[in-house]
Structures are given as structure tokens and as C-alpha cells.
């Protein structure tokens, strides 16, 4: 009976790390009511797998081989509106969960919490419910009420970078804040070094910064602040 997949939830994994995919496949296939029907490391092959395997659900990482997972989430939400999406990522939930939900995902889980929570998270998302950690739920709820209040505050002169940056720019800004250099960022995100330089210039312009040192200092301060929230 365990090998009978007819009544089980079919899940497609999209992640650019083969070792991680192998571990997650093992976790999911150990559950009685779900199994992995396919896997992919980039957006193009993910779309082909969706057409081929017709999964009931997609699990996506934020960083993929060719682009941001957020772009794949937006594509799926537009072309496969009834296909639920769960994000499992190394990226800080406080930095990316809200963006993932806005892009069309129904849940977000950190990779280090995956072993204990993945089954429950999948069932929640499959039921049409939002799955976030309690901390993130409270943060997003608080932000709703904060936006309804007056725009003036003691910190009104401090602007949140995530308000002005695109998904890819925020990803690079976050890596800068974590101490990654230009070449390291290009290797991690599979981007040309010059492309990373172009993104850095756009970030400086959007945040009204004159030097790379100012941008690095702000990025470090912001990443540290998000961790402490």
C-alpha cells in the first residue's frame, strides 16, 4: 500500500542543490499521504515538469540556478492559479516571507526547520491555508496595523530598503549585508560579475547612497536589524 501513489499528494521540488533535494525527497516520501513526483533546479525545467507530471503542489527555493524563485512563483500564480506553492529556503523568513506570499506562495519555511515541520506545512498549504512561523505571523499582522497609523514616527527618516528594491536587488543587498563580495555573489546567484556590479549601482541610486562603503554599512546594519526583530 505504501507504494500506491494514486491517493497521495504529488509534489514537485524546485531547488538548485541536489543534496538538499535528495534529503527533502526522503522526508516527504516517508509521509503516508504525499510523495515527490519530480524535481528541478531552474525555472525552465520546472515549467516542463509541471506540464509533464501535473503536480498537486510545488515546493520552491528563493535562489534557483537561473533566477529568483520569486519569479517562478509569480509565473505559476499567473499560469497555474490553483497550484499551491510552499517556499523552503535558507533565506531569513523575516526578509523574504512577505514577498513570497505577495508573489503567490501560501507558505514559507526555513530549511533548518524543515525536518520537524515540512509535513504539517505541506498539509496546511494543500488545505488552502497560509503557513508561516508564529513569529512571522505576528510580524505581518503587526505591519498591517502599523500601515494604518500615521506615517510620521521617530524613525521616519530611516527608510526600509525592501520598500524600494526589486526581488533580485534585495537578494543582492542582503548578501552584501552578510559580507559577500561581488565575485562571491556572482557565483552564488549564477550571475556575471558585471551584472552584479550593475545591480549594486541600481541599489545605490535607489537608496540615495554615494559610495559602496555607505551601501555596505547600510546593508550590514539592515540585515543585523532584521535578525534582531
**Could you read off the pLDDT of 147-171 as tens digits, one per residue?**
444 443 444 444 678 778 888 888 8
Q: What is the pLDDT of residues 45-57, one digit of tens each?
A: 999 999 999 999 9
Q: Is the pLDDT of residue 6 over 50?
A: yes
Q: Tell the burial category of 85 from Cβ atoms under 10 Å away from its Cβ (0-12, 13-18, 19+).
A: buried
Q: Is the pLDDT of residue 35 over 60?
A: yes
Model pLDDT, residue 144 = 47
Model pLDDT, residue 154 = 42
- Give the CA count within 13 Å in the CB-facing half-sphere of 201: 6
- Same structural domain for residues 94 and 167? no
Which of 160 and 32 is assigned the larger pLDDT?
Answer: 32
- Same structural domain for residues 26 and 125? yes
Model pLDDT, residue 51 = 94
Cα radius of gyration rounded to whole Å, the chain: 19
Q: What is the pLDDT of residues 112-124, one digit of tens each?
A: 888 888 999 999 9
Model pLDDT, residue 92 = 78
- Same structural domain for residues 123 and 171? no
113: in domain: yes
Range of the domain at 183: 157-228
Q: Is the pLDDT of residue 17 over 80?
A: yes
Helices (runs of H) and strands (runs of E) counted in the chain: 11, 5
Last residue of a domain, one of 137, 168, 187: 137
Q: What is the pLDDT of residues 202-217, one digit of tens each?
A: 999 888 888 888 888 8
Q: Which of 168, 159, 226 has its CA nearest to residue 200? A: 168
The residue-averaged pLDDT of 131-160 equals: 56
Specify the CATH number for the domain of residue 90: 3.40.50.2300
Amino acid at each position: 500500500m505504501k507504494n500506491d501513489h494514486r491517493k497521495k499528494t504529488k509534489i514537485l521540488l524546485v531547488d538548485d542543490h541536489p543534496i538538499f533535494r535528495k534529503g527533502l525527497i526522503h522526508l516527504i516520501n516517508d509521509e503516508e499521504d504525499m510523495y515527490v513526483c519530480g524535481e528541478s533546479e531552474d525555472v525552465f525545467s520546472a515549467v516542463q515538469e509541471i506540464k509533464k507530471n501535473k503536480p498537486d503542489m510545488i515546493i520552491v527555493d528563493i535562489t534557483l540556478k537561473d533566477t529568483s524563485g520569486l519569479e517562478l512563483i509569480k509565473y505559476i500564480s499567473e499560469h497555474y492559479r490553483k497550484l499551491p506553492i510552499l517556499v523552503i529556503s535558507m533565506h531569513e523568513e523575516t526578509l523574504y516571507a512577505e514577498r513570497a506570499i505577495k508573489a503567490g506562495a501560501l507558505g514559507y519555511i526555513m530549511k533548518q526547520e524543515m525536518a520537524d515541520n515540512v509535513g504539517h506545512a505541506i498539509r496546511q498549504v494543500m488545505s488552502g491555508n497560509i503557513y508561516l512561523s508564529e513569529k512571522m505571523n505576528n510580524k505581518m499582522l503587526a505591519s498591517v496595523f502599523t500601515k494604518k497609523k500615521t506615517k510620521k514616527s521617530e524613525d521616519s527618516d530611516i527608510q526600509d530598503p525592501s520598500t524600494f528594491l526589486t526581488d533580485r536587488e534585495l537578494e543582492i543587498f542582503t548578501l552584501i549585508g552578510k559580507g559577500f563580495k561581488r565575485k562571491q555573489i556572482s557565483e552564488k546567484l549564477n550571475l556575471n560579475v558585471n551584472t552584479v556590479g550593475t545591480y549594486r549601482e541600481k541599489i545605490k541610486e535607489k537608496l540615495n547612497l554615494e559610495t559602496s562603503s555607505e551601501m555596505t554599512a547600510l546593508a550590514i546594519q539592515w540585515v543585523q536589524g532584521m535578525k534582531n526583530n
